[in-house]
Amino acid sequence: MIEALILGGLGFSFGVVLVYLARKFEVKVDERLEKIVELLPGKNCGTCGFANCEEMASASLKDPTYLERCRVLEPDNRRKIEEILGVSLQDISKKIAIVACTFQTENKFKYVGVQTCAAAVLVSSGFKKCKYACLGLGDCVRVCPFDAISISEGEVKIDKNKCVGCGLCVQTCPKNVINLVNAGAYVFVSCSSRDDAKTVVGVCKNGCIGCGLCAKACPVGAIKIENNLAIIDYSICTGCGKCAEVCPRKVIFKLRTS
């Protein structure tokens, strides 16, 4: 009897104190917060600059323009959040990540150290003959929150359908060999080498030598040669694909036809 009384009494008094504290120290939570968090991707990739999606949601309650930073948000969910917040936001163009390398260079030595790109790049700036080449040890694979990147036989492949363009791999890659391009891009220069033609030919079967044939062939002048590398201005490119046809090194790829 006495044990039941003591236990019950203790439980009751703790309960009363807890209720009192909960009232006194109540934290008001905006009910819209939970809805927004549900609509956000929930991958906590951090490319918006906030630690996770919840932080982002609470910030967007104060200033909805923060939502524009989320590159992962589905258009449908985006519209729903706009409705909840009663605002309309600028559209942002979807981007995808592509590896600007054709993996045609050879190893200059056998690397047996820690198997990450970040570690490998410290040894003689990588073990590939081309110093701009992808090392293929998969730092990008590990950092991708969307499982969009895979490696087969040393070649990094990014799944266009899974990639949302968050850009984490771009930040992570120590070789800066991954580029973010508009999802609507027609052609892509699959090389990052800024070496001169002689060096590139010596180390790679494909690599861009900066010959400028593509720039001459382009009817709208969208291609420039900068530092021995062809750069495509996607705001001008019409997607005719002439550059891909004339390229003697076969390093310009058609992503899709116009």
Partner 1 sequence: MENLLAIAVGMILVNNIVLTRFLGLCSFFGVSRRIRDALGMGIAVTFVMTCSAAITWFVYEYLLVPAGIQYMRIVVFILVIASFVQMVEVIVRKKAPSLYRAMGIYLPLITTNCAILGVVLINTEVERYSFVASTVSGFSAGIGYALAILLMAGIKERLEIAEIPESFRESPIGFIIAALLAMVFMGFGGMV
Q: Alpha-carbon distance 100 to 242, whole Å?
A: 19
Q: Answer yes or no whether residue 27 interacts with partner 1 by CB under 8 A.
A: yes
Q: Answer yes or no whether residue 21 interacts with partner 1 by CB under 8 A.
A: yes
Q: Please say which residue, 11 or 202, places its beta carbon nearer to partner 1.
A: 11
Q: How far is the CB of 127 from partner 1 (least distance, A)?
A: 18
Q: Taking contact as CB under 8 A, which single stretch among the options 17-25, 190-198, 199-207, 249-257 is the one that binds partner 1? A: 17-25
- Which parts of 185-204 interact with partner 1 (CB under 8 A)? none
Contact between 156 and 99 under an 8 Å Cβ cutoff? The reply is yes
Q: How far is the CB of 125 from partner 1 (least distance, A)?
A: 20
233's CB contacts (< 8 A; 6+ apart) are: 222, 223, 224
Q: How far is the CB of 207 from partner 1 (least distance, A)?
A: 32
Q: Answer yes or no whether residue 42 interacts with partner 1 by CB under 8 A.
A: no
Q: Answer yes or no whether residue 118 interacts with partner 1 by CB under 8 A.
A: no
Contact between 247 and 216 under an 8 Å Cβ cutoff? The reply is no
Q: Please say which residue, 14 or 109, places its beta carbon nearer to partner 1.
A: 14
Q: How far is the CB of 42 from partner 1 (least distance, A)?
A: 17
Q: Answer yes or no whether residue 220 interacts with partner 1 by CB under 8 A.
A: no
Q: Answer yes or no whether residue 16 interacts with partner 1 by CB under 8 A.
A: no
Q: Of residues 49, 83, 114, 202, which one binds partner 1 by CB under 8 A?
A: 114
Applying CB under 8 A, the residues found at the interface with partner 1 are 2-3, 6-7, 10-11, 14, 17-18, 21-22, 25-27, 114, 116
